[in-house]
Amino acid sequence: MKHTIIASSIAACLLIVGATTPLTAAAADKEVQATDLVDIFEKLGGKHPGYRKAHAKGMCAAGTFVPSANEHFKDAALLSNGELPVSMRFSLGGANPNSDERAPGTRGLGMQIKLPNGSFHTFTGNNFPVFAGKDPETFFGFLSTLLPDENGKTDPAKTMAFIKANPSVQANAMWNQQAKTPASFANTAFFGLHTFYFDNANGEKTKFRWDIQPSLGVKTLDKDEAAKMPETFLADTFAKQLKEGTVSFTIMASLGEAEDSDIDPSQQWPAERPQVALGTVTVTTSGGDACKNTNFDPNMMSAGFTPSADPVLRMRSPAYAISFGKRLSNQ
């Protein structure tokens, strides 16, 4: 069954794409292309023409970004132009646009800030703090173990064997095993996962990873609480919170040291790394289709910012572009 819930205690930790799926462990050894990832998302979640191939179910929102001055990013155009407009899309993981919102697992956020010169800065994150694999090959190999066989049966033992043999998948799998259902998009923290750099006017380079923290705090529902909710509740909950008060998020940057990996999104940096605020996003409206045709590519950044050589981050641009093209052509 191509759904967001995998019916076994083992697979409960495997809701990364919100669906059921496999090749063999050897699949991690092949060079993976962006088309391979798009194809496997469709196999996991089913074909849904006109929708994103991952994070198909989502909700648009809009607001404003107010920068926070700090010495590490003082020359950034992103932080030097005052209040800026923001387009957002909150989402569930997986390729199924009809996903059950009561299920635990992946929630995502795409955020695009528009600068006065017409350029954009994009933040794309998920509610898990580590990625499921050190590179596209490992991630693809992991997803491949989740695919059903010719009889529609999945093999949890194959998945567990892959996780055991591939340490870079283990932290994400553990997170998913313990994940609860987010109470609201407004009560969810999002993590950029990848490493980026900022080069200031003096040639100094700042290495950082970002996360987005909700002003209303992180809140989740346990299994019994989630079961009492409607299958679709996130948009209504968010709209209610927006009507009752301020919904905002703070974009934080963790400053990396030389020993912190800039190419492996499956590794968390030490918690004691200093953090500085890049700014605050305040949501003003939610709903509508304004973000429907926006491509939230995290490699699209404003002047001074550059992506790291992280192979998963580099793979996102072609994968997003393929998904975007298929969506616009109703494939």
Strands 248-255, 205-214: pairing is antiparallel
Q: Are 130 and 116 in contact (CB under 8 A)?
A: no
- C-beta separation of 141 from 51 below 8 A: no
Tokens (6 digits) for 236: 């209504």
Contacts for 309 with CB less than 8 Å, ≥ 6 apart: 262, 263
Length of the chain: 331
Q: How many C-alpha atoms does 261 have within 13 Å on its Cβ side? A: 15
Q: What is the DSSP secondary structure assignment for residue 5, as one 8-state letter?
A: -
- Active site includes 55? yes
Longest dimension (CA), the chain: 61
Residue 320 annotated as part of some ligand binding site = yes
CA separation for the pair 238, 287 (Å, rounded) = 9
DSSP 200-259: -TTS-EEEEEEEEEETT---EE-HHHHHTS-SS-HHHHHHHHHHHS--EEEEEEEEPPTT
Distance CA(284)–CA(291), nearest Å, equals 14
Alpha-carbon span 331 to 47, nearest angstrom: 8
The active-site residue, picked from 3, 48, 55, 194, is: 55
Q: Residues at the annotated binding site?
A: 320
Q: Which residues are catalytic?
A: 55
Q: Residues at the annotated binding site for heme?
A: 320
